[in-house]
Structures are given as C-alpha cells and as structure tokens.
Amino acid sequence: MQRSAMVNYHIKSPDPQAFQFDVDGVIGTLIEPVLIPTQVSVTDLRGHAEKLHLVEDGVMFAHHTSQIHAFTADDSWVSTYNDEITELLNAKIGAKEVIVFDHTVRIDDPNALRRPARNVHNDYSQSGAEQRLIDILGEEKAAEFARGHYAFVNIWRPVEHTIRTAPLGFIHPDSMAIDDWMSIELIYPDRHGQILGVAANSAHRWIYLSEMTPKEIAIFTIYDNRGQPHVGHSALDIGTSDGQYPRKSIESRVLVRYDG
C-alpha cells in the first residue's frame, strides 16, 4: 500500500552544516541546518515485512516481547533491557558480541525533551563511527574490533501504544546515490559528533511498517565497517493524528561484532 508523507531533506551546500544542541547552556535548545520539506511516496510493508533482511536491505522488522513496559528516567530497566537486546541480536543477526551503549526515548510532543527526528539522515558518518568506537572501547580494543567485522545498529521500538503518528520510515539502500549523502556536524556542549544528512532524490524508495506495536521492533544498520548497507531514515508525517496517544518510542544504539 502506498501512502503520501512529508519528510525534511538536507541541502547540498559548500558551507559547514551542523545541529547545535543545548545552546547557551539551555537544555533542549536546538539550532538546525536548513531543511527542505518534501512530499514522498512511502510503501507500507504491513503483511510483507518478512521479506526484508538486514544484510541486503539495511533494515528488518521482527516481533519481540519485552519484559519492560515503562522506560523510566531512573534507569532501573536498563540492565534487563540490555540483556534482551543482546539475546535478540545474537539470534536475529548472528552478532557474536553485543555492547548496548545508548537509549533514547522520543515523544511526538512539542514539550518533550527529545522529539522524533524529522530530518532525513543516518546516525554516523565513517569518521563519526570510528570515533564513537574509540569513545566506547578505548583505542586498543577499538583497534582490535576494526581488524574484524563490526557494525553499529539501532533497535527501534514503540513504547506503551501503537504508533499512529510520525512512524519511522527508511530509504531502501538500493535507491540511494553516493552523492545523496553529506556530512553534518553535531555540536554538543561537551563533545562533537558527525552524522550523514541526505539530499532529496526522486529515485528514493521509501518504506515503513504501519501501526507498529510495542511487540514489534525495527533493527537497522547505521554503520558497517565491511560495507553492508546503512539506511537513511526519518520520522514520517503521514497526515494522521492521535492527540490522546502521540508517538512514543525508544531507540537503542548498539555496537556489534560479527565473526570474521
């Protein structure tokens, strides 16, 4: 089924582009680069999601029931959820080592501290991923990982309610051109990072899974040092509204090591 959605692409520019977070020490303050709202056609994979495979498509969907139902600020759930993710990735993608290093809860509410990301992007550039590897492991162990096959993946799950607003959409990697990607700086008060922004291209083939529930997850690659595809993605504005239950989701960033 095809749906129409609005997304915000980045633009090609000779000038440096950056997101600046917590500007002037004010938590939640954000300065964004210029984004171009664009209407795209999106294919709903409901009923066909099992055809996707991480190695070929950069994203896959799976059923997974968690013991955790409330991802509270006290982090009492983190250890249990990390164990679940480790078991899941061992089984689903053949990961031999799993290091969960970040969880972000997003709510589609203007007053939320973290809202759905509405820019078309991928979470790491190559240099950003290589630096993050060192940040997590230290230089010696990072060098050990780099000699083998490692990747950063994202586990995305609805929280509490079915997703009816701002679902997460993906650009199938076989519809991306190399020139569509660009480096975007992330400037935090205490560190710098780098992501990949995506420029508009009418060839992009957008996909998503409608009305995902908390018992469904998306697993997608955000960097792979052996060149397996990573995916541009963004929240989709698809013209639906749910004032009672706005989108709430949790994304978990994970470093995985494979055989070889």
pLDDT of residue 24: 64
Instruction: Tell me the average pLDDT across 220-248.
Output: 90
In the chain, where the domains are located: 2-258
Among residues 209, 157, 181, 172, the alpha carbon closest in space to that of 58 is found at 172
Which pLDDT value is given to residue 78? 97
Which residues have a Cβ under 8 Å from the Cβ of 241 and sit 6 or more positions away?
164, 165
Q: How large is the average pLDDT for residues 101-110?
A: 94
Of residues 33 and 172, more confidently modeled: 172
Percent share of the chain, pLDDT over 90: 80
Whether 185 shows a pLDDT value over 90: the answer reads no
Torsion of CA 220, 88, 224, 234, to 10 degrees: 20
Q: Topology of 2-258 in CATH? A: Jelly Rolls (2.60.120)
- First-residue to last-residue Cα distance in the chain: 39
Angle (CA) 239-167-79 rounded to 5° is 155
Q: With contact defined as beta carbons under 8 Å apart, do 81 and 155 qualify? A: no
- Which pLDDT band holds residue 216 (cuts at 50, 70, 90)? very high
